[in-house]
């Protein structure tokens, strides 16, 4: 299935799950839809659906899992933007949720998105309990990474960068891939390959971000080498999957060479 069709299925599922504008309180519904609908590349849900395909399943198998990972991702962004965290007023060219709706309602919208993510994961037609458990474990990991990152910034000192990046960024890539594999009924070997590929892909994504933003914790040449090495490692893991991994392979190459 072309990537465009996968994106259409993701958007359709998100629209199905999010509360309609008529739902009370309307401000909450509007804030949730603003958070999820304000752009973004839908990288994590694409990884989820592409992982289902690579495991020998169909993208439809993973549509609720894919929506769940995107809802959870957007909850983290809503909270990251708050004044107590990054204090960002713009995201993707639009006002952040707290800037548009106020801090209190932004916190509540983020809470609601997180809860809705687990409700979406539970709708998966296969391995729902394992999918929910994977989402929960990685959601905790993201928070662990964020706490250590805040401590690093407060101390203005070096820290365990691999730990922070693995949890703050790569954990949701791992969740996306493993949830997609579980939705497709993948066995242990395929799940292991997906987990390995997603860890490398998530770390490469973060190091590439550092290069784009010009704030890498390492010298630029070392960071570029890390991106290249991790991307090759991801591709090697993908080669062990039983299904068509071409979409994941294309994503790996695209993410490593992106400009934004």
Contacts of 197 (CB under 8 A, 6+ apart): 177, 233, 234, 235, 237, 238, 248, 252
DSSP SS3 for 90: strand
pLDDT tens, 94-136?
Answer: 999 999 999 999 999 999 999 999 999 999 999 999 999 999 9
Give the whole-angstrom CA distance, residue 184 versus residue 113. 25
The pLDDT assigned to 232 comes to 97
Tens digits of residue pLDDT in 155-197: 765 678 999 999 999 999 999 999 999 999 999 999 999 999 9
Q: Check pLDDT > 80 for residue 205.
A: yes
Among residues 194, 187, 172, the alpha carbon closest in space to that of 65 is found at 172
Domains and CATH numbers, the chain: 3-256 (1.10.600.10)
Identify whether the C-beta of residue 69 lies closer than 8 Å to the C-beta of residue 176. Answer: yes
pLDDT tens readout for residues 35-58: 999 778 999 999 999 999 999 999
Joined together, the tokens standing for residue 165 give 């990046």
What is the SS3 assignment for 186? coil
Extract the tokens encoding 90: 């713009």
pLDDT confidence of residue 260: 78
pLDDT of 154 over the 80 cut: no
């Amino acid at each position: 299935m072309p990537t465009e069709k996968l994106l259409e299925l993701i958007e359709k599922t998100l629209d199905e799950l999010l509360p309609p504008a008529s739902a009370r309180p309307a401000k909450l519904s509007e804030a949730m839809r603003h958070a999820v609908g304000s752009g973004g590349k839908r990288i994590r849900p694409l990884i989820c659906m592409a992982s289902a395909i690579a495991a020998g399943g169909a993208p439809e198998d993973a549509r609720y899992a894919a929506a769940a990972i995107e809802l959870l991702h957007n909850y983290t962004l809503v909270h990251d933007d708050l004044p107590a965290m990054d204090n960002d007023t713009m995201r993707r060219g639009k006002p952040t949720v707290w800037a548009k709706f106020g801090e209190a309602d932004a916190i509540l919208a983020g809470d609601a998105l997180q809860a809705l993510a687990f409700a979406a994961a539970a709708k998966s037609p296969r391995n729902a309990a394992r999918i929910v458990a994977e989402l929960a474990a990685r959601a905790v990991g993201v928070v662990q990474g964020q706490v250590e990152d805040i401590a690093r910034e407060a101390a203005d000192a070096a820290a365990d960068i691999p730990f922070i990046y693995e949890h703050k960024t790569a954990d949701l890539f791992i969740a996306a891939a493993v949830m997609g594999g579980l939705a497709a009924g993948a066995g242990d070997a395929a799940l292991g390959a997906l987990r390995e590929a997603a860890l490398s892909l998530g770390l490469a994504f973060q190091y590439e971000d550092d290069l784009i933003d010009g704030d890498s914790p390492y010298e630029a040449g070392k960071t570029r080498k890390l991106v290249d090495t991790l991307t090759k490692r991801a591709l090697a893991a993908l080669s062990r999957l039983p299904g068509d991994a071409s979409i994941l392979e294309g994503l790996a190459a695209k993410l490593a060479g992106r400009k934004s």
